Amino acid sequence: MIVEQQQNPQFTDQAERLRRMVRSTQRTARVLAITSGKGGVGKTNVAANLSLCLSAAGKEVILLDADLGLANLDIILPVNSHTNLSQVISGRKRLQDIIQTGPGGVRMICGGSGLTQLADLDDFQRRQIIQDMSTLELQSDIIIIDTAAGISKNVLGFCQASDHTLVVTTPEPTSITDAYAMIKILTQSHTHAKISLLVNMAQNRTQAKNIYQRIAVVTRKFLAVPLYDAGYILHDEHLPQAVSKRKPVVLAYPHSSSSCCFMALAQKLARVQKNKTVQEGFFRKISNWLF
Ligand SMILES: Nc1ncnc2c1ncn2[C@@H]1O[C@H](COP(=O)(O)OP(=O)(O)OP(=O)(O)O)[C@@H](O)[C@H]1O
Ligand SMILES: [Mg+2]
């Protein structure tokens, strides 16, 4: 049937007309995957806080928890975690049917925890989810994917499907080594995505810049690809305090040092012009959510 439709010139014309119409009238989302070599470096917090900042700036954001098997985004952005990707894998629902609206208007897709069938997706299931994601691109400005740590087929699949991969590291030597290993695998797996480095838990700007320079130099020399600088998030005690309150730091402590860094990162990624009015707008909107 599908083959017949594809060969039918009338159908091909219609499909091409529809594609042209969609291209001219709809937004096509940018897909940003957030990943790391080492675990526990702050990916989930980056994904949640960045999504909230972009949403506050007026962007339509869809946040996908793709840390399959150990999903935990819903801990800091509370939604009903029973509605999750396992329903898509079992064929009971489509991806667009399990989107929920979380805090700050961020639309979320929960991953589903403790389910081995999610942790070990086969190639067909992985392709199915990634294909389904293309339907979401028409409904949003940006799709942010929170992946698991380390190199696995699931993580590589999501990174390959993205336009931009943000590799997160901390200043710890082991985390830096693992970030480079991740960048190496990403470039060798023929991903066309732009790769950026984000230094989380940085002591200061200089420390973060030095780490970026060191990794960027070896990436250029040995992998022959550019590594973009996404900047840094300062080490901030407000962040674990917010997590223990089950809130993202930009909502719990909007004026904290890490919240300022998340806003700067969102501005950089959204290419929002950096000026005082925008910065104040961010603060005002985020503060408003608290009351
Ligand atoms: N900028 C920061 N300042 C201080 N602590 C931080 C910062 N970022 C993250 N943390 C701490 O690190 C913990 C782990 O963060 P998070 O769960 O986001 O990491 P992850 O990379 O998603 O972990 P996993 O690999 O297990 O998915 C947080 O609960 C918080 O306590
Ligand atoms: Mg995580």
Q: Structural domain boundaries of the chain?
A: 27-289
User: What residue ranges line ligand 1, CB within 6 angstroms?
Assistant: 36, 39-45, 67, 149, 200-201, 233, 235-236, 239-240, 243, 258
**Average pLDDT, integer, range 67-74:** 82
Nearest alpha carbon, ligand 1 atom 23: 40
Distance 163 CA to ligand 2 centre (A): 20
Greatest mean pLDDT among 54-58, 143-147, 156-160, 205-209 lies in: 205-209
Q: What is the pLDDT at residue 151? A: 87
Strand order in the sheet with 164-169: 100-101, 107-109, 61-66, 142-149, 30-36, 164-169, 194-202, 228-234
Write out the two tokens for 34. Answer: 């957030």
Ligand nearest to the CA of 43: 1
Pocket test for ligand 1, best of 45, 50, 204 (most atoms within 8 A of CB): 45
Residue 103 vs residues 75, 77, 289: alpha-carbon distances, Å: 12, 6, 8
From CA 270, how far away is CA 127, in angstroms rounded? 28
Lowest mean pLDDT among 74-78, 131-135, 163-167, 227-231: 131-135
Q: What is the pLDDT at residue 19? A: 47
From CA 227, how far away is CA 141, in angstroms rounded? 24
**24-50 tens-digit pLDDT:** 445 566 899 999 999 999 999 999 999
From CA 241, how far away is CA 186, in angstroms rounded? 33
From CA 158, how far away is CA 143, in angstroms rounded? 11
Write out the two tokens for 233. Answer: 């998030």
Distance 94 CA to ligand 2 centre (A): 24
Q: What is the pLDDT at residue 13? A: 52
Pocket test for ligand 1, best of 51, 67, 70, 239 (most atoms within 8 A of CB): 239
Work out the number of other CB atoms within 10 angstroms of the CB of residue 225: 14
**Average pLDDT, integer, range 221-248:** 96
The percent of residues in the chain predicted with pLDDT above 70, rounded, is 81
Nearest alpha carbon, ligand 1 atom 18: 42
Helix (H, G, I), strand (E, B), or coil: what is residue 248? Answer: coil
Write out the two tokens for 147. Answer: 């992946």
**Average pLDDT, integer, range 179-194:** 90
Nearest alpha carbon, ligand 1 atom 26: 40
Helix (H, G, I), strand (E, B), or coil: what is residue 189? Answer: coil
Distance 10 CA to ligand 2 centre (A): 47
Under the banding of pLDDT at 50, 70 and 90, the label for residue 18 is: very low
Q: Would you say residue 193 has pLDDT above 90?
A: no
Fold of 27-289: Rossmann fold (3.40.50)
Q: Would you say residue 283 has pLDDT above 50?
A: no
Q: What is the pLDDT at residue 89? A: 83
Ligand nearest to the CA of 48: 1
Distance 20 CA to ligand 1 centre (A): 42
Q: What is the pLDDT at residue 128? A: 79
Helix (H, G, I), strand (E, B), or coil: what is residue 31? Answer: strand
Pocket test for ligand 1, best of 234, 243, 259 (most atoms within 8 A of CB): 243
**Residue of higher predicted confidence among 216 and 159:** 216
Under the banding of pLDDT at 50, 70 and 90, the label for residue 248 is: very high
Ligand nearest to the CA of 247: 1
Alpha-helical runs (H) found in the chain: 2-7, 9-25, 43-56, 73-76, 86-89, 116-119, 123-137, 153-160, 173-188, 205-218, 238-244, 249-252, 257-270, 276-289
Greatest mean pLDDT among 75-89, 134-148, 209-223, 271-285 lies in: 209-223
